[in-house]
Amino acid sequence: MVRARQRDIAQAAGVSEATVSRVLNDHPGVSEATRQSVMVALDVLGFERPTYLRRKSVGLVGLILPELTNPIFPAFAQLISTALARRGFIPILCTQTAGGVHEDDYVQQLLDHGVAGMINISGLHADSDSKPGRYFRLRELGMPLVLVNGAIDGLDVPTIANDDVAAIEMAIAHLTELGHVRIGLAAGPDRFIPVIRKLWGFRGAMARHTSLSRAEIDDLIVHELFTVDGGAAAAARLLDRGVTAIAAASDLMALGAVRAVRARGLRVPQDVSVIGYDDSPLIAFSDPPLTTIRQNVTAMSETAVNSLVEIIGGSDSRAKEFTFRPELVVRGSTAPCVVQARERHTPRARGLRAAKVSDERP
């Protein structure tokens, strides 16, 4: 291959011409990640791979997700798949649904296919009730592994997470600045690590920004599923407790909360403010556009792939924790508190109104 072509490949792969030469001539001393980058550059530029490179199988990487109903997970899948492909790996997407294939079965299938590594997003590692032994066995097999949104104590793998504590603190600070005091938290099941962290953030922020007691704060927490229906059910219970604002643990739950507020004949945000979590694709086009806490999905995805590729290439695989700062995105679903709204939709207020109407009847 002429020197001009080597220069083009080196520039496209982000390596030196000497490294390109070593890869093309199958010389030792080149990491697998660098070798893959050079091969991708060859393909992108339209150069034919050397014969020995054509004989090598392409690296497969397992990408395990809980489901694709929540739009935040397709966003992760797209970004991670693209980042893997740029490095010469092909992702095998494994999604879990109720009654579908279990995570352990997916892992065994991935092992049978000889994958080079795995990235697991919000899997059993995020469930504090699950047994962690499955992940220690993978490490004993030498399987490169990265965990996203969850962690296992004592497991020497990289973990990637959004700062859930800071996220909820941002939400509460925003709502209290708008004058809200009785702020409800529509949280997911409390066995999940991200939910546990959100609870820490909620209790701490409410204690700092309001004069409510610990018991009063705990009364403003409702656990439901991470779905629209779950959010609606949680919001209905919170409205009965007199909240003027609801912070939801996901954008889907926030949409359910908006539905529940409207079912009471109230308005968002004029009567009740709602704030979501994730900043899922298209959520800015909801009615009203949803104020939410944005996960840094792009940076988290890139870091997950970079960490995995480094391990595959032989770099140190000891535990590294990457925590990313979220961002408050203010849109149209939050507004200053109107105390009358709170008084209007509490059970006590409704009871007083009913009594007053009864007294006025002849």
pLDDT in tens, 119-148: 999 988 889 888 889 899 888 888 899 999
Question: Which residue matches tokens 């599923």?
Answer: 225
Q: Evaluate whether 246 touches 257 at the Cβ level (below 8 Å).
A: yes
Q: Evaluate whether 182 touches 220 at the Cβ level (below 8 Å).
A: yes
User: What pLDDT does 361 receive?
Assistant: 39
Q: What backbone torsions phi and psi does residue 278 show, to the nearest 5 degrees?
A: 130, -45
Give residues with Cβ within 8 angstroms of 85, minimum separation 6. 40, 91
Interatomic CA distance for residues 108 and 104, integer angstroms: 6
Q: Evaluate whether 342 touches 181 at the Cβ level (below 8 Å).
A: no
Question: For residue 192, what is the DSSP state?
Answer: B
25, burial (CB in 10 Å: exposed 0-12, middle 13-18, buried 19+): exposed
User: What pLDDT does 318 receive?
Assistant: 62
User: What pLDDT does 47 receive?
Assistant: 77
Share of the chain above pLDDT 90, in %: 55
- Domains of the chain from N-terminus onward: 3-55 (1.10.260.40), 59-162+297-327 (3.40.50.2300), 164-296+329-352 (3.40.50.2300)
Q: Of the given ranges (53-62, 90-99, 278-287, 320-329), which has the lowest mean pLDDT?
A: 53-62
Furthest-apart CA pair in the chain: how many Å?
Answer: 101
- pLDDT-derived band at 42 (thresholds 50, 70, 90) equals confident
Residue type, 282: L
Q: Of the given ranges (34-48, 270-284, 287-301), which has the lowest mean pLDDT?
A: 34-48
Inform me whether the pLDDT recorded for 175 exceeds 70: yes
User: What pLDDT does 358 receive?
Assistant: 39
- Order of strands, edge to edge, in the sheet holding 145-148? 89-95, 59-65, 117-121, 145-148, 159-162, 321-324
